[in-house]
């Protein structure tokens, strides 16, 4: 479903922007149809160019944990704008931001602010390689850590959606330094460390996967990553760009009571502006120039407007928010499960905090080989039927949906009714 204004914009866009979008999954190709162009957003809702309202479960792919345009975040941005847009020089705001982040994440003793999750993971791995003086990195099939060359190897998110988990343009020599294992496979990880432990610089993991749909770690998986890295002198990196301050105030590591060597953050921590973080143990982060030999830089790194939004967001991460997120998300999970039961659909719901996926497969979905068995055609039909009813769900089977603190019980119940109808229509 697309209104005439969106269709016209999409046509114009495709003439000047590849696929008409600045990030592939937004093109709706995985679900058929064409994208709705968004004019504005508020709370739990998006408004299309023709004024139509959608209940939003994409949340800008994660950042909008309080809902859109929270007045305190907007006020912080407005205040910052008046003082200047970018200085390319240190600010008090950055110091305060780093102090707040390090207090929130015990694994982060020192940090750098960058502008995107891709930059964060790319830089974290460079530091890990510099620190260990090793080259090989380990990632898990279907996990997505941004679009750096050596991370686009059996990657999730849009890469999985469009059947390009190994992107063209990535030299084979780069990809060869990335070893890929199935997610949640503790034995495979042990065996790899047994045979190649001395070569491994780092293991990077989404501690709860969002980028092949929502998949939680099996008990012991994350613990074993940390323990094996420690034993073999490698660096454990939790990519919490999606889960950070989303599944708990201090991310999945707080929820699981774990302390990885390094952590990457983005999305929520930037309050909706381009801001991300990588950080970790002091001795690792001290490898960075100007005090160490590893180089990383950025004109807009620590940008004052973005950092102001991030600080305002951190201020809002209170217990009441997480209680509300849990209640609303559990209500949605229950309702979707009831709808699956009443329609007899071959589907399951997987959830961690306010991240959730309705998979069109009986489940459980534990890794990429489970996820790719899903009926993506039916997901496409279900998605279209949801959109028709004003429900904006991620336009790919392999992306998590996000509930926000702005979703009311009424919103959730309307979504459940729509989902049930869409399940019947998509059968
Ligand atoms: N990689 C993002 C979701 N996992 C997509 C971002 C976007 O299209 O905005």
Q: Hey, what domains does the chain have and what are their CATH numbers?
A: 4-69+319-426 (3.90.1150.10), 71-315 (3.40.640.10)
What is the average per-residue pLDDT within 191-214? 97
* Residue 375 alpha carbon to ligand 1 centre in Å: 21
Convert the pLDDT of each residue in 396-416 to its tens digit: 999 999 999 999 999 999 999
Element (H, E) at 166: none
> Quick one: how far is CA 292 from the chain centroid?
30
What pLDDT score does 160 carry? 67
Torsion of CA 168, 172, 177, 181, to 10 degrees: 60
Cβ atoms 406, 362 nearer than 8 A? no
Active site amino acids? 144, 239, 267
| Residue nearest ligand 1's atom 7 by CA | 23
85: which 2 tokens? Answer: 């847009």
Q: Which atom of ligand 1 lies nearest, measured to the CA of 146?
A: 1
Cβ(25) – ligand 1 distance below 6 Å: yes
Cβ(26) – ligand 1 distance below 6 Å: yes
Centre a 10 Å sphere on the Cβ of residue 249 and count the other Cβ atoms it contains: 18
* Residue 58 alpha carbon to ligand 1 centre in Å: 10
Cβ(211) – ligand 1 distance below 6 Å: yes
Cβ(399) – ligand 1 distance below 6 Å: yes
Cβ(301) – ligand 1 distance below 6 Å: no
Convert the pLDDT of each residue in 250-276 to its tens digit: 999 999 999 999 999 999 999 999 999
Convert the pLDDT of each residue in 78-127 to its tens digit: 999 999 999 999 999 999 999 999 999 999 999 999 999 999 999 999 99
151: which 2 tokens? Answer: 């991370």
Best of 20, 158, 274 for a ligand 1 pocket test (most atoms within 8 Å of beta carbon):
158
What pLDDT score does 1 carry? 53
Residue 358 and residue 348: Cα distance in Å, rounded? 6
Secondary structure letter of residue 329 according to DSSP: H
Residue 282 and residue 416: Cα distance in Å, rounded? 47
What pLDDT score does 163 carry? 59
Cβ(157) – ligand 1 distance below 6 Å: yes
- 241 pLDDT higher than 60: yes
Residue 116 and residue 249: Cα distance in Å, rounded? 20
pTM of the model: 0.96
What pLDDT score does 108 carry? 98
Burial of 22 (0-12, 13-18, 19+ CB in 10 A): exposed
Residues found in the chain: 427
b/e per residue 355-373 (b: at least 16 CB within 10 A): bbbbbbbebebbbbebbbe
* Residue 158 alpha carbon to ligand 1 centre in Å: 7
In 312-389, the DSSP E strands lie at 348-352, 355-359
Cβ(355) – ligand 1 distance below 6 Å: no
Convert the pLDDT of each residue in 7-60 to its tens digit: 999 999 999 999 999 999 999 999 998 999 999 999 999 999 999 999 999 999
Q: Which residues have a Cβ under 8 Å from the Cβ of 296 and sit 6 or more positions away?
A: 112, 114, 123, 126, 127, 288, 289
What pLDDT score does 373 carry? 96
When pLDDT is cut at 50, 70 and 90, the band that residue 162 belongs to is low
Nearest to 339 by CA among 425, 397, 402, 213: 425
| Residue nearest ligand 1's atom 1 by CA | 157
* Residue 273 alpha carbon to ligand 1 centre in Å: 14
What pLDDT score does 287 carry? 98
- 149 pLDDT higher than 80: yes
Nearest to 268 by CA among 220, 226, 325: 325
* Residue 40: strand pairing partners: 47
What is the average per-residue pLDDT within 314-336? 98
* Residue 274 alpha carbon to ligand 1 centre in Å: 13
Share of the chain above pLDDT 90, in %: 92
* Residue 206 alpha carbon to ligand 1 centre in Å: 15
Best of 25, 28, 355 for a ligand 1 pocket test (most atoms within 8 Å of beta carbon):
25
- 293 pLDDT higher than 80: yes
When pLDDT is cut at 50, 70 and 90, the band that residue 166 belongs to is confident
Share of the chain above pLDDT 70, in %: 98
Cβ(112) – ligand 1 distance below 6 Å: no
What pLDDT score does 164 carry? 61
Residue 194 and residue 201: Cα distance in Å, rounded? 14
Averaged pLDDT of the chain: 96
For 186, 313, 407, the CA distances from 69, given in Å and listed in that order, are 41, 11, 14
* Residue 266 alpha carbon to ligand 1 centre in Å: 12
Cβ(61) – ligand 1 distance below 6 Å: yes
| Residue nearest ligand 1's atom 8 by CA | 23
Phi (first) and psi of residue 12, to 5 degrees: -60, -45
Cβ(22) – ligand 1 distance below 6 Å: no
Q: Which atom of ligand 1 lies nearest, measured to the CA of 242?
A: 4
Cβ(241) – ligand 1 distance below 6 Å: no
What is the average per-residue pLDDT within 196-225? 98
| Residue nearest ligand 1's atom 9 by CA | 23
């Amino acid at each position: 479903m697309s209104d005439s204004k969106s269709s016209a914009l999409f046509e114009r866009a495709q003439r000047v922007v590849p696929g008409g979008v600045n990030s592939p999954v937004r093109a709706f190709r995985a679900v058929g149809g064409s994208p709705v162009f968004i004019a504005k957003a508020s709370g739990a809702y998006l408004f299309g160019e023709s004024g139509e309202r959608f209940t939003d479960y994409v949340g800008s792919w994660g950042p909008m944990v309080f809902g859109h345009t929270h007045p305190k975040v907007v006020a912080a941005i407005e205040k910052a704008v008046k003082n200047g847009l970018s200085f390319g020089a240190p600010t008090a705001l950055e110091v305060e931001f780093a102090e707040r982040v390090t207090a929130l994440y015990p694994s982060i003793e020192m940090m750098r602010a960058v502008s995107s999750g891709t930059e964060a993971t790319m830089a974290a791995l460079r530091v890990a390689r510099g620190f260990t003086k090793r080259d090989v990195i380990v990632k898990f099939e279907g996990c997505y850590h941004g679009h750096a060359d050596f991370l686009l190897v059996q990657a999730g998110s849009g890469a999985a959606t469009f059947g390009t988990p190994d992107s063209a343009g990535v030299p084979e020599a780069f990809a060869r330094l990335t070893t890929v294992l199935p997610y949640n496979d503790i034995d495979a990880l042990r065996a790899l460390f047994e045979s190649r432990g001395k070569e491994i610089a780092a293991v990077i993991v989404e501690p709860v996967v969002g980028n092949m749909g929502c998949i939680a770690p099996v008990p012991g998986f994350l613990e074993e990553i940390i323990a094996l890295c420690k034993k073999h002198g490698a660096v454990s990196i939790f990519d919490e760009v999606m889960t950070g301050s989303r599944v708990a105030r201090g991310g999945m590591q707080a929820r699981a009571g774990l302390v990885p060597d390094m952590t990457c953050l983005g999305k929520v921590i930037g309050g909706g502006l381009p801001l991300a973080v990588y950080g970790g143990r002091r001795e690792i982060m001290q490898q960075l120039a100007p005090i160490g030999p590893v180089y990383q830089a950025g004109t807009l790194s620590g940008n004052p407007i973005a950092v102001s939004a991030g600080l305002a967001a951190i201020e809002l991460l209170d217990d009441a928010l997480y209680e509300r997120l849990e209640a609303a998300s559990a209500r949605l999970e229950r309702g979707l499960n009831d709808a699956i039961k009443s329609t007899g659909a071959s589907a399951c719901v997987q959830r961690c905090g306010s991240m959730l996926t309705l998979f069109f497969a009986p489940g459980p979905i534990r890794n990429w080989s489970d996820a790719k068995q899903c009926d993506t055609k039916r997901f496409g039909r279900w998605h279209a039927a949801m959109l028709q009813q004003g429900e904006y769900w991620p336009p790919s089977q392999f992306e998590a949906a996000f509930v926000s603190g702005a979703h009311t019980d009424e919103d959730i119940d309307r979504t459940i009714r729509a989902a049930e109808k869409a399940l019947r229509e998509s059968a």
